[in-house]
Structure formats: C-alpha cells, structure tokens
Amino acid sequence: NAGVTQTPKFQVLKTGQSMTLQCAQDMNHNSMYWYRQDPGMGLRLIYYSASEGTTDKGEVPNGYNVSRLNKREFSLRLESAAPSQTSVYFCASTPKNYYEQYFGPGTRLTVT
Amino acid sequence: AQTVTQSQPEMSVQEAETVTLSCTYDTSESDYYLFWYKQPPSRQMILVIRQEAYKQQNATENRFSVNFQKAAKSFSLKISDSQLGDAAMYFCAYGDYKLSFGAGTTVTVRA
C-alpha cells in the first residue's frame, strides 16, 4: 500500500514549456486534489475531483488543467509554464464521507 | 480568499516544554472539520489531529491537544513535552470535502 504517489519529485522547465504532473492513489479514495504551496501562503487548492468523472476549479486554477483518468489517477497539466508557477505541488485524496486528506510527497517545480 | 489565519509565523520552544499555536477561521457553516497538519523538512504533510465541529469535546492525540472554541472560531494546538522531532511547519486547515489552509507556523525546538 503506497498511499499517494507523485511523479516527478523535481522538475525544471523553461518558460513556455508544457508538462504533466502525475498523481495516483491505491486506497480506493473517491476525491482527489491538487494544491500548490508557496512561501507564506500555505496550501492553495488548484483543482479537485469529488469523484471519478468530475473535476472542479479551486482557488487558483488559471494556467492549469486536470484529468481524472480513473478512480486512482488525477493528473495536473501546465500547458505553457510561467515563472509564477514555480512552486511545490501536492496531490491529496480522501475516502468517501470522510474529510481527512492524505498527501503525496510533493513535486518541486521551477520555471526559469 | 484565505479564511484561515495563523497569526504566529514562528514559535520557539525549549525541549520538554509546552507550546501553543493559534488558529482562527471564518465560516458561516455549522458543520465542518478542523485539522492540524505537520510538515517537517522532508516536505511530507502529516496529519496531527482532527476535530469535528459538532463535537464539544476537544481532540487529543498523545502529546498533541486542541482547544476548540466554536463560537470564537478558534482552534489552537498545544504541543506538550516538546521533542526535537516536533520541529516543523504546522498548518491549520478547515472545511469539509474542500479544505482551506492557513499560512503556517514554523516551530523550532531548542535542545
């Protein structure tokens, strides 16, 4: 039982490049989330998926897209990376009717 | 918009002593959940304690306890008998299926 896994752990992009952050959970959780963490701002919700087949915007969705590929996987895509997207990205999941979020190890992304 | 406020950016505590981290939040809901998460230098987010708003009894997990004041919308975390391994950033979070996080409090433990 690996919990929530994220790939890659580190990434450096040039402005304008695209990439997809991958997240998978093996706990049969219903809901999945993408956050970004910036110094002095805590975690801010980018997108979430309450259940397989649904996605909704969070607090800071601009510049991102998501795909809930199946119950296990929830990916985050940056179509044209910008320096403002330099951050640490966390994926999380929760089981149905239960609100504790289980987090992945994070991805540190730098856009130059 | 940030609806969770952690007013102490940094706190320092002597090993074996007690430290209390403050958290206030803003909501019009009556039913919600509150959490404290710990983030050590490894970056992993670890749940410390949770509190259901409908429960009056304050949650306790070993050396960690909360003081939940629903009317005041306050949710403080007390760490007793502080250990070197408690050094980390601590985040308060509120919500239900979506959580709002505070900006965090960095706790350092002096040996």
The tens digit of pLDDT for each residue in A57-79 reads 999 999 999 999 899 999 999 99
Pairs of CB atoms within 8 A across A/B: 53
A40 pLDDT tier (thresholds 50, 70, 90): confident
**Residues B90/B27, Cβ–Cβ less than 8 Å:** no
Check residue A16 and give its pLDDT.
97
B64 contacts chain A (CB < 8 A)? no
B1 pLDDT tier (thresholds 50, 70, 90): low
Average pLDDT, chain A: 94
Residue range B14-32: mean pLDDT, rounded: 94
* CA-wise closest residue to A11 among A88, A66, A64: A88
With an 8 Å Cβ cutoff, are B45 and A92 in contact?
Answer: yes
Distance CA A51, CA A71 (A): 7
Residue range B85-102: mean pLDDT, rounded: 93
